[in-house]
Each structure stands twice: as C-alpha cells, then as structure tokens.
A and B are shown apart, each in its own frame.
Chain A
C-alpha cells in the first residue's frame, strides 16, 4: 500500500544502547523528516532530508544520526540512547511546499 510506514511501533531499550528507527515511504517524495513529540514541547524537528544523500540538522539533532541512501528510506539512529530520548518519534514526507504526511510513529522508551 502507498504511504509512509515506521517500524517498530514500540521499542524499549537500555541506556547506552544503539537503536535504529526505520521509515519507509512509497510516494517518492523528495523531502523526509524526523520529529519527536514530547509533552510540553510539541513536535520538534530532529533531522530532515531534501533528497537521497542530502541530510541536514533540525532543531534538536544532538545524539541522533540519519542517512538517506535511497529516496524511500530515512532511518534514524540513536548512537547511545539516553533517558532524555524517551519520546514518540514521527517520520514525515512531502514534496517541496506541500503539506507533510506523517507515519504512525514509534514510541521509544529508554530505561
């Protein structure tokens, strides 16, 4: 089915571990984004990508790494997870100037 899918939906990990959140879209949108959503902060941009092999930092990039070797995939890696990275993570995609389409989210808990 066309759309944007995130995996896993839920993840529990321990402090210091590396974890990768996956995002896949079938629309061939140029732009892809990673947001985190926390109570009291709303949605904040972590990283975005304008095209394959082009990525750039958003508002809160520290502790995260992204890559985009293919247009349809935009994984987000937490290199050494911390409790402050417990959050709900949303991947989104769009074409330039078009509204965002969000994935279903990944709820990450770091213990």
Chain B
C-alpha cells in the first residue's frame, strides 16, 4: 500500500515567520510531487510541483525534494494570515492506474495557522 504521510498539525507560526511543512512517501518509484492548499470548505488548489531533487522556488514558496530520503517539504517565507489553510502533499507514481498518468496519492494534510 503506497502511503503519503504528513503531520496533521495544527502547525502554528507567527506572521512573518517561515512555515515548514513536511511529507514522506513510501513508494521509491514516485516521480512527481505536488503541494496543494485547501481553505476550509473549498477545493484544493495547486501551489507547486517538483520533479527533481533539490529546491524549487516560486515567490514566497519553496519546495524541496530528496528522493533518497523519500522526503518532500514546502517552506513558506514571510507567512501571512491568508496562508492559514490545510496543505496537502500529493505524490504520483508511474502507471498505477493506467498509462503515464498514474495515480495521485494524497496525504491527509497539515493544517497551518498563521497568527497575526
């Protein structure tokens, strides 16, 4: 059973701090890694994706991937109260459910609270 693990939180950080969200996955064959943000009562929205080892930066967000450790993280710099949401880590393997699309396995999410 392929699994994606996240701390459920809540993770509480003060405004302006760096929030660090972590995710581990069990399938060494996983190839694509995604972070989604979900506000309460809303649908998930994509923040970032990363395919290669190392860091990928987009504005205040940095995704970090370490395939050897089967670990992916999301850093949010200068955290704002509007960043308060649940962050879902999703991992895609190869061909689990048909062809190259594979199956996206979601973690249960980490709830982030940014305090003013």
Name A's B-contacting residues (CB within 8 A).
Answer: 31, 35, 40-45, 48, 50, 56-59, 90, 94, 96-97, 99-105
Contact = CB atoms under 8 A, between A and B. Distances in A.
A97 B100 contact: yes
Contacts of B100: 96-97
A67 B26 CA distance: 32
Interface string B96-113: 011111011011110000
Contacts of A42: 88, 106-109
B44 A99 contact: no
Interface string B43-83: 11110010000000000000000000000000000000000
12 contacts: A40-B108, A42-B108, A48-B101, A57-B97, A59-B103, A97-B100, A99-B34, A99-B49, A100-B104, A102-B45, A104-B42, A105-B42
Contacts of B49: 99
Interface of B: 32, 34, 42-46, 49, 88, 90, 97-101, 103-104, 106-109
B88 A50 contact: no
A97 B32 contact: yes
Contacts of B34: 99
Contacts of A97: 32, 100-101
A96 B99 contact: yes
B86 to A, nearest CB: 10
A102 B43 contact: yes
B88 A45 contact: no
